[in-house]
Amino acid sequence: MKTISEAEIEEFGRELDKIRDDVIASRGEDDARYIRRVIAVQRALEVSGRALLFASVLPPAWLAGTAALATAKILENMEIGHNVLHGQWDWMRDPAIHSSTWEWDLVSPARHWKYTHNYLHHKWTNVLGKDRDIGFVLLRLSPEQPWHPYYLGQPLYNAILAPFFEWGVALHDLEVERLRGGDKSWAEVFAQVREILRKAGRQAVKDYVAFPLLAGPLFLPVLIGNFTANMTRNVWAHTVIFCGHFPDEAATFTEEQVEGETRGEWYLRQLLGSCNLTGGSLFHIMAGNLSYQIEHHLFPDLPSNRYAEVAPRVRALCERFGLPYNTGSLLRQTARVWKRVFRLALPTPTPKSRAGCPTPALTQAA
């Protein structure tokens, strides 16, 4: 990888700004139709899935129902919820599809998540000590994190986290580690816990009480179907999200590195800390277009359906400036994530500046 000068970084940033402006200028009716169609398909799938589960005396109906419901929940969480909460559709001024009014089918209240995700994670992407999404405070995913015997168990923690990912996200949003430093009071945490319990309670009643009861004698198959759909969604979300930032080639940064960062440098950090996934258009929709993680991190508030069209332009820019553009198949990237989980479970020397990570002022990508 060749060195990139400060002037080149700013030029890179201006080029990205241009891409962003082009998309904003061309946002319109087709995009609006896209998100409304995805929402309609998602709701129809959900209703069909639940209806099929009610017919689950026939095993194929149970299977089809569970699959439809899981698909609906994945769409709801990823292509719709995540992206609406990013404000990607706020420009339509439709109060029904707006980041300030949206609530999603997860145990964590959207309001909490918007703070930890949109602000902490997207502003401070892969900055150690700032971005709490690095290992979700649970895992050691960067060699700069000091090792502790606790991390020996992290392959197991991660395997447990995957199916219960929505609970992981809810607890993660509590930021309990800030209690120790006194940055956050117990009262604040309790208030948040109450909100989570209220939300989670309704979620649990819906999937594990109300629908099973309505199914009468099919109580158990419906309950198991709903549980399976939730777990499937959780594992899928966990897999896609971990592939976005934690395959081996994604870089992490220190707070000193990002101090006084310019717009160009911010863009560069977003690029170096993110990894794309390759696949067909259906795969991208099911991944909430987080398979275009690089584009999503460069332009978190552009409509997700446009990432595919800007990706080649971003990639061409990376080639022009000699910057890496990390991408791979889901299988390959998942393998790399797990490799990292296993490797960093063991003590490793804490490097001063890791290979694949830019030098302190972010002025060159080594």
Partner 1 sequence: MTGLARTPIDDVTLRLADTAAWLTTPLMPEDYLTLINPLWSSRELRGRVEAVHPETKDVASLVIRPGRSWSTHRAGQFIRVGVDIDGVRHWRTYSLSSAPERGDGRVTITVKSVPGGVVSTHLVHRTTPGTIVGLTRPEGGFVLPEPVPSRLLFVTAGSGITPVMAMLRSLARPGEMPDVIVLHSAPTREEVIFGPELRTLAGRFPHLLLHEQHTRSSGRLNLSQLPDLCPDWPERHVWACGPTGMLREAETYWREAGIADRLRMEHFRPAVTTSAAGGGGHVRFLVSGREADADGATPLLVVGENAGVLMPSGCRMGICYRCTGRLRSGRVRDLRTGREYGEEGELIQTCVSAADGNVEIEL
Residues at the interface with partner 1 (CB under 8 A): 27-33, 40, 43-44, 47, 87, 90-96, 98, 100-101, 103-105, 199, 202-203, 205-206, 210-211, 214
Residue 245 CA to residue 141 CA, distance in Å, equals: 10
Q: Which is nearer to partner 1, 213 or 220 (CB)?
A: 213
Q: Which is nearer to partner 1, 114 or 354 (CB)?
A: 114
Encoding tokens for residue 61? 């109906």
Nearest Cα to Cα of residue 315 among 3, 15, 78, 10? 15
Q: What's the CA angle centered on 361, arms 346 and 317, to 5 degrees?
A: 95
Q: Which is nearer to partner 1, 77 or 252 (CB)?
A: 77
Q: Which is nearer to partner 1, 73 or 340 (CB)?
A: 73
Q: What is the DSSP string of 15-39?
A: HHHHHHHHHHHH--HHHHHHHHHHH
Q: What is the nearest approach in angstroms of partner 1 to the Cβ of residue 211?
A: 7
Q: What is the DSSP string of 142-161?
A: STTSPP-GGGGGHHHHHHHH
Residue 131 CA to residue 191 CA, distance in Å, equals: 23
Residue 84 CA to residue 102 CA, distance in Å, equals: 7
Q: Which is nearer to partner 1, 32 or 193 (CB)?
A: 32
